[in-house]
Structure 1
Amino acid sequence: MAADLGLYLRRAHRTLTDGLYTTLTRTTLLLGRSLPLRRSGKLSRAVLGRLQAADRWIAWVRERREGTLIWVHAASVGETLAAVPVVARMQAAEPELCFILSYSSPSAAEWVVPKLFEKADYLPPDDPKILNRIFSALRPAAILFSRGDLWPNLVKVSSLHEIPAIVVGGSVSPESLRLRQPAKSWLRRVYSRLDFVSAVSRPDASRFMELGVRPGRIAVTGDPRHDYTIERPVRLDQVRPFVQWAAGDPVIVAGSTDATDEQLVLKAFSLVSERRPGLKLVLVPHEPRRAREISPALSASALWTGEPAIPAGARIVVVGKLGLLADLYLIAAVAHVGGGFKRSGVHSVVEPAAFGIPVTFGPNYGNSPDAEAMLQAGGAVSVPRPGSAAELATRWLAWLEQPAAAVDAGRRNRKVLKQGSADISARAVLEIIRSRALHTLQR
């Protein structure tokens, strides 16, 4: 009797919380339709975009080509790019597959979506009634979540329609609020409905299981974002002024820097320049607007915001333009990645690693499995303190004066990325789709 009562109470609690979430979603919808929203605001654009997304998706069904539909969902641009290598391999293996993309962020709405996707639009509101209409119209063979932007009712409705819900490149930050109560208990049923998770790392896999994913439905496959970064074509037209300016001299590229990184890098650069007078530095602040503040204070420097040429006499170039850093690592002999002196941790080290470059960064790298793997592989060095300019200079000099050691360190970094994650993930997803299709035919 007590066990039955406990089961009843748990079910009642789940029904209540599910109902409360759906009620809040519908209330937000009503407010979004009735309140005047500023179309210029990011949040407003996202709300407006999602409100009418269902009608646009259903209208598109009449235009779509024949083929098995795979629905990919990503929060924004970065998550979409992580899914691209998996989608490309699936399409190469099964050309009849038709991929569509939904997103949550207005940043993705303003982006040129890869041609792999035949349709891209906002994710409709997370309302079961709306989602049932969408699934009935689209009839996808599977829904893939890139990284893990899961919406409770979207996962639930896909399960009710017997459509596999799969996470590719799955990652859960140890600081995620999803791992804290009461969210953790409520989300457990959402995660338990997932058919498969390809996790980036073992710690990520453990966190997914902690959230409710069944152990037999998860595998550590590595990060498909690595495949994208390695395979991404370099925009040579964008970096040509820097190639001409470098003129064969060694260049250190310091990317995504903050003030602490910049002080350290500039001191180390000055020390190394005493031994290597031809050395040049490219400084790319994490916030491009700061470039105009940094450049005037430096001698023999130039501010670059997109000009066709860089002054030949400049030894330091401060970049004040967004979106170029990943390509700038092309000219680097050594890279320094910023953020490692902040509590939030180091920024992305994947881009310099893709070019086979040795890397340095600050001591706070626990947020980045890639940085940890590069350290273990011997391709990167962590600088312990903001005042360690002499230590940083010594490390840079060792790589600059021993090219074979620098090449070896860079090769180790690139090897960290080349784990074949996209291939493994694509094969796993295709196997699930084929198995589900066969099961449906046999019923």
Structure 2
Amino acid sequence: MPRLIYSVIFYLLTPVILLRLLYRAIKAPAYAGRWFERFGFFTPSDSCKDIIWLHAVSVGETLAAVPLVKALQAKYPDHRLLITCMTPTGSERITAAFGDSVDHCYAPYDAPDAVARFLKRVQPKMLIIMETELWPNTVAACCKRQIPVILANARLSEKSARGYGRVSGLSSPMFSQLTAVAAQHGDDGARFTALGLPAENLHISGNIKFDLDLSIQIRQSAAALRQQWSGSSQRPIFLAASTHRGEDEIILQAFSLIKQSVNDALLVLVPRHPERFNQVGDLCLEAGFSLARRSNNDLTDTADILLGDTMGELMTFFGACDIAFVGGSLVANGGHNMIEPAAWGKPTLSGLSVFNFAEVSRLLAEAGGLSLVENAAALAEAVITLIKNPEQAQQMGRQAQQIAEANRGALDRLLVVIDNSLSG
């Protein structure tokens, strides 16, 4: 009965959902396209191969899935991967990362008819969901058709667990239907079982984001970019990555303080969402800074700030900077992936809101590779200290990198879970 009520509400809200897509299309026109996919109208390109369906809701999950997709392609060459997402930026990342080596579309809305239509057309042999993008009707429909559902690299914060607990009549059956959950940490796993996941279906595999691959090509690109940005004067480069609304102002306040002590510092500012690029550029100019844009290939010789207004380059930016701040953390957003700068051996800074990466931030902070700051003044002080004490910055970077290296191996453990579920 709870799922029936949920489905009725979903259908009633569908016009509102579509209006929201139109509203978002004002700033990001791609939201106005490919609506038919969101209602389950999709046909795989190769009808002769069995499909493994992998869902990555947006950019972060897509990037985390890159090594997994490559491993699945190597392990199951007779299968075709279908990768779904919910956002245009996620779609762009999937296309850029995999091209036509995979099928791709938007995931169907969690309405019974859309899900049924999609499953009938695709007939997947397995559904792998990245992290926590769970939908009751999708899970139930797969269970009914005996399609294994794996929650990969799963995390569940206390806040999210409380939310699921408030609708236990709907969420408990869904958790009980999951074939396997490969959780990042034991605390995540305990929350899943408390919400209804059978204990035998829980596996603690670690975080596959530690298994990222810094190829020779990306290392060379980062080195070239660093030389371009720092110039002959070797100016220090401070990267503020994946910033959110309300956070850019704090970064700019901090940078004003930094410039008073380190006048030649360059801030590379990368907003999380592309629809905010121009807005953040305007904020930089209003604050009195000279601005260069990455999308224009502007020179940074005389610029105070380089606006990272491109997609798909953030990993390279981490390799090119001296100090990295990971955004979504000075506002109540839960933070973003600080494993990436750690893998490069960069001293890493973050705000206090890190519930999306609670275990990662704990490991890095305890090892001395991550410093948490609460406001603009504290951020500025941390950056100035690291710039003026390069040995301290190098030591902090080494400690971060050691944690990144020590926690690799989650991908192999996840592949065992997937193989057992697919063959079983």
Give me the TM-score of the superposition, normalised by structure 2: 0.80
Shift of the 290–163 alpha-carbon distance from structure 1 to 2, 3 Å rule, reads: closer
CA contact (8 A) 1:83 1:168 kept: no
SS at match of 1:254: strand
Superposition map of 1:143-222 within 5 A: 143-176=127-160, 179-222=163-206
1:364 to partner: Cα distance: 3.7
Task: Report the Cα distance in structure 2 between the residues aligned to 1:121 and 1:339, rounded to whole angstroms.
Answer: 27
Residue 28 of structure 1 and its aligned partner are, at CA, apart by 5.4
> Structure 1 CA distance, aligned partners of 2:120 and 2:81?
17
SS in 2 for 1:179: helix
Question: Which shifted more, 127-136 or 418-427?
Answer: 127-136
The amino acid across from 1:318 in the alignment is L
Deviates most, 212-221 or 78-87: 78-87
Instruction: After TM superposition, list the pairs within 5 Å mapping 1:54-65 onto structure 2.
Output: 54=41, 56-57=42-43, 60=44, 63-64=45-46
Corresponding position of 1:260: 250
DSSP-derived class of the 1:175 partner: helix
> 1:392: Cα distance to partner?
1.9
Contact in 2 for aligned 1:67/1:98 (Cα 8 Å): yes
For residues 161 and 398 of structure 1, the distance between their equivalents in structure 2, rounded to whole angstroms, comes to 61
Q: Does 1:327 align with 2:311?
A: no
The answer to whether residue 362 in structure 2 is matched with residue 372 in structure 1 is yes
Aligned match for 1:290, one of 280, 297, 304: 280
Give the alignment's TM-score, normalised by structure 1.
0.77
Aligned residue number for residue 388 of structure 1: 378
Partner of 1:5: none
Matched with 1:10 is: none
Residue equivalent to 2:293: 304
Q: Which amino acid aligns with 2:316?
A: D
Quote how far apart the aligned CAs of 1:186 are: 1.7
Q: Are 2:403 and 1:419 aligned?
A: no
SS of 1:172's equivalent in the other structure is: coil
Q: Which runs of 5+ in 2 are unaligned?
A: none
The alignment status of 1:91 with 2:73, answered yes or no, reads: yes
Q: What secondary structure does 1:312 align onto?
A: coil
Q: Is the 8 A contact 1:166 1:195 kept in 2?
A: yes
2:249, 2:283 within 8 Å by CA — same for their partners in 1?
no
User: Would the aligned equivalents of 1:32 and 1:47 in 2 still touch at CA under 8 Å?
Assistant: no
Structure-2 separation of matches of 1:106 and 1:181: 31
Question: How many Å separate the matches in 1 of 2:297 and 2:99?
Answer: 30
Larger Cα Rg: Structure 1 or Structure 2?
1
Q: Distance in 1 between matches of 2:162 and 2:394?
A: 46
Preserved CA contact (<8 Å) 2:164 2:195: no
Deviation, 1:400, is: 1.0
> After the TM superposition, which of the residue ranges 125-134 and 369-378 deviates more from structure 2?
125-134
1:69 matched to 2:69? The reply is no
Query: Counterpart of 1:21?
Result: 6
8 Å Cα contact 2:300/2:306 also seen in 1: no
Aligned residues: 406
Q: Deviations over 1:259-297 (max 9, x none)?
A: 2233234424533x3xxx7x5322305353223332465
Q: Which amino acid aligns with 2:206?
A: G
CA contact (8 A) 2:239 2:318 kept: no
Percent identical among aligned pairs is: 21
Is the contact made by 1:261 and 1:341 (CA closer than 8 Å) also made in structure 2?
no
**Match for residue 408 of structure 1?**
398
SS at match of 1:284: strand
| Cα distance in 2, alignment partners of residues 73 and 420 from structure 1 | 22
- Is the 8 Å Cα contact of residues 56 and 85 (structure 2) preserved in structure 1? yes
How far, CA to CA, are the matches of 1:390 and 1:27 in structure 2?
49
CA change 1:116–1:137 in 2 (3 A) is: same
Matches within 5 A, 1:230-249: 230=214, 234=218, 243-247=227-231, 249=234
Q: Compared with structure 1, are the counterparts of its residues 102 and 386 closer, same or farther at alpha carbon in structure 2 (3 Å cutoff)?
A: closer
2:178, 2:418 → 1: CA distance? 12
After superposition, what is the alpha-carbon deviation per residue over 1:131-186, rounded to whole angstroms, capped at 9, x for unaligned? 44543453322111111212212111211111211111112233227635542332
How many angstroms does 1:74 deviate by? 2.5
2: CA distance, partners of 1:342 / 1:415: 29
Q: Give the whole-Å Cα distance in 2 for the aligned partners of 1:166 and 1:311.
A: 46
Contact 1:99 1:116 in 2 (8 A): no
Deviations 1:318-368 (A, max 9, x none): 315243443222222222334543333544323322211111233443443
Secondary structure of the residue aligned to 1:203 is helix
Mean alpha-carbon deviation: is it higher for 364-373 or for 93-102? 364-373
Q: Distance in 1 between matches of 2:38 and 2:352?
A: 44
